[in-house]
Structure formats: structure tokens, C-alpha cells
Amino acid sequence: MTENQPAGDGETDLSNECKELLSLPKERGWISLHQHQYQGFWCPTEIFQGIIAFQKHFQARDSDIVVASVPKSGTTWLKALIFAIVNRQRFEIKIHPLLTSNSHNLVPFLEVDLYRNNLVPDFSSKFPEPRLFATHIPFPSLGTIKESNCKIVYVCRNPFDSFVSLWHFCNKVRPQSLAPLSLDEAFDMYCQGMDVYGPFWDHMLGYWKESFKRPNNVLFLKYEDMKKDGVNHLKTLAKFLDCPFTEEEERNGVIEDIAKLCSFETMKKLEINKTGTFVLNMESKNLFRKAEVGDWVNYLTPMMEQRMSKVIEEKLGSSGLTFKGTPELADHVQQN
Ligand code: PPS
């Protein structure tokens, strides 16, 4: 089957499935009018069909590499880092594809790009091995990826900053026909677990637990740690992906070059990221806001802070998963 070709006899089935899905629990959406609860997670209407087509048709290979995340956790960055690491023999830094393409267009989302609109992609030509994909789908719903031996790199971010990032982003990309989401309303939805692909806690826990069960297949990273020590994270990533940096590469500054190429400062300034688009025709410039750890203090009231802390404690407290950039939580964890 070739790219842009409908999924054969699945087309009618999928339409029927989608009709059925629209009868699932439904709430106000973040980037569209509605979101729906499917297999336990919340998903914008537009993405359903892609999720179903992906689950039905995608055949993972052991050599695949999959970037996974809750939205607004560092996906754009991680896609760039992995693309640059894996392809470092193919491209010179000075004329690198990341200088002329947004990382989302180099490492496509399975459900939002490749299988969107019930298309079945042509994997034969454009995808040299290892194939690089991304997804926001929670671990239990990953279809054949779960059973394969492929490498999954998951990035998570402290929920305080993720929430603020999500709220800003959604208000920028929501259709103009929809009223903006107020901070209060968005916060309430988030704390109830009705965030995009959420509840965020289930999303994180799915990959967190799997990273302990299968450490050679699932690498769990934290945005705040990556910001603090980019070079060491690049080494960890390359090793996990079975392409460790050689001593010579280290001596020649290859790691630093990649870190710089993929840095927020570099990516935000690129013409392609100021003027281009990425999935669902959204403007790429909205992917680059502040990239700070702890920016949430500028938005959340003490009451909101307390509520979020309580949610995190209740939902993630016993998991061992902790976050930096949330001083109160860090203190709390230390006290316990
Ligand atoms: S998405 O839409 O899910 O792909 O968004 P995602 O990339 O996960 O998250 C966007 C936030 O990441 C910041 N960002 C970066 N941080 C560090 N380095 C690089 N290169 C980078 N690129 C984007 C971006 O600014 C968003 O965070 P906020 O806090 O909103 O600035």
C-alpha cells in the first residue's frame, strides 16, 4: 500500500468505529470543541481516527525507535536530539536537516501524522532503519509496539510546568470559533485528569513502570534533568539507542555540537520554526515559548499549587516518581 492511500476495507469500518467513539464520555476539548475518553485516556476528536488506524495497522519492528510523551513535556526537543544522534554520520551540523525542518516533521507522530485521516503510510522508501516515530498514546494502548523489542524513549515534565505550557499552547492553537480556555477552567480539567492524552499520572506511570520491567527497551527521562545536564543525557540516549559516542567523537565535541543544534535557543531562532507548520497545520512558533523550569510560579495561585500538589501526592506519591522545579514537592518527598 502506498502513502495517502485509504486503509482499504477498513475505511467503512473505521467510520463506523468513529461514530461509536463519539458516544463515549465527552468533555470540553483543549484544542477542539470536544475530547473523548477512549481506552481510559482523553483524546481530541480529530485524533481518534488516527489512533484507531494506528492500532489496527501499524506493525512495529524491533529496530524502531519511538519517542513518547505527554504533550508539552519536551517532545520537540527529544525528537530533535534523537534524530541528530541516530543520523550523526549522515549529516554535517552546518547543513543539518534540523536547520531547515522542524523536528516534528522529521520524526512524525504515528497517530497524528502518519495514520491521520485513515491513511496507511508507505514505510518502504522514506523510512530508513532505524525508523523514528513519536506518539502521545499511553503505553497500554500502543498496539504492536508493546510486544516488539523496539526502543521507547519517554520524556516527562513536572506537571506544574506542563500544565502552564499546555494552557498557553492550546489557547494559541484553538480554532478562533472556540472561546479561549480560562486558566481556572483548564486547571480544573487538568487536576481531574482530563488533560490531552491524560490523566497525566496514568500516562507517566504506564511508561515509568515499563521502564523498570524492560530497562533495555524503555528509557524514562525527565525534562528538568535534561535541562540541567544535557551532555550526560545525550550520552545516556546514544548508549540506550545502541550507538554510543566514541572517544574520538567526544574529543571532537560532537556531543556539544548536537546539544547546541537542538537547544531551545537555536531552535526558536530558526526561520523554519518561526514561519513553518507542523502537525494538524499548527504553527511551529507555538512550540517554543520559554522552556523554563519553574515558570508555573508566575501563573498558579497558592491554592492551585496546593491542589496540584495534592493530586500529585495522591496519584504518584507511592510510585517513587518525583519532580524537580516544584520546591514544595521536593521538600515533601525529602521529609518522607
Ligand atoms: S508538543 O506539542 O507536545 O510536542 O510540545 P513539547 O515539545 O512536548 O513541549 C513544548 C515545551 O517544550 C519547550 N521546548 C524546549 N525546551 C528545551 N529545549 C528545546 N529545544 C525546546 N523546544 C521546545 C517549549 O518551550 C515548551 O515549554 P514552555 O514551558 O511552554 O516554554
Q: What is the pLDDT of residues 74-122, one digit of tens each?
A: 999 999 999 999 999 999 999 999 999 999 999 999 999 999 877 778 8
- What is the whole-number distance in angstroms between the Cα of residue 72 and the centre of ligand 1? 6
Degrees to nearest 5, angle at CA 15 with 11 and 21: 140
Which residue out of 67, 77, 102 has the highest number of ligand 1 atoms within 8 Å of its CB and is therefore the one to mutate?
77
* Residue 166 is assigned to a structural domain of this protein: no
In the prediction, which pLDDT does 158 show? 97
Q: Can you tell me the distance from the alpha carbon of 288 to that of 209, in angstroms, rounded to the nearest whole number?
A: 30
Q: Which atom of ligand 1 is nearest to the CA of 288?
A: 25
Residue 260 belongs to a domain: yes
Which residue's CA lies nearest to atom 23 of ligand 1?
A: 288
Residue 299 in contact with ligand 1 by CB distance below 6 A: no
- Selecting among 136, 168, 203, 233, the annotated active-site residue is 136
Q: Kindly give the distance from the C-alpha atom of residue 75 to the centroid of ligand 1, in angstroms, as a whole number.
A: 7
What is the value of pTM for the model shown? 0.93
The pLDDT, as a whole number, for residue 186 is: 98
The answer to the question of residue 317 being in a domain is no
Task: Identify whether 24 is part of a domain.
Answer: no
CATH number for the domain that contains residue 237: 3.40.50.300
With a CB cutoff of 8 Å and minimum separation 6, the contacts of 92 are none
| pLDDT at residue 332 is higher than 50 | no
The answer to whether 215 touches 208, Cβ cutoff 8 Å, is no
**Cβ of 161 less than 6 Å from ligand 1:** yes
Q: Quick one: pLDDT band at residue 21, thresholds 50, 70, 90?
A: confident
Domain annotation covers residue 254: yes
Pocket probe mutation, ligand 1, options 112, 222, 261, 287, max atoms within 8 Å of Cβ: 287
In a domain, 331, yes or no: no
For residue 224, what are the domain limits?
32-161+197-293
**Residue 93 resides in a domain:** yes
325 within some domain: no
- The count of structural domains within the chain is 1
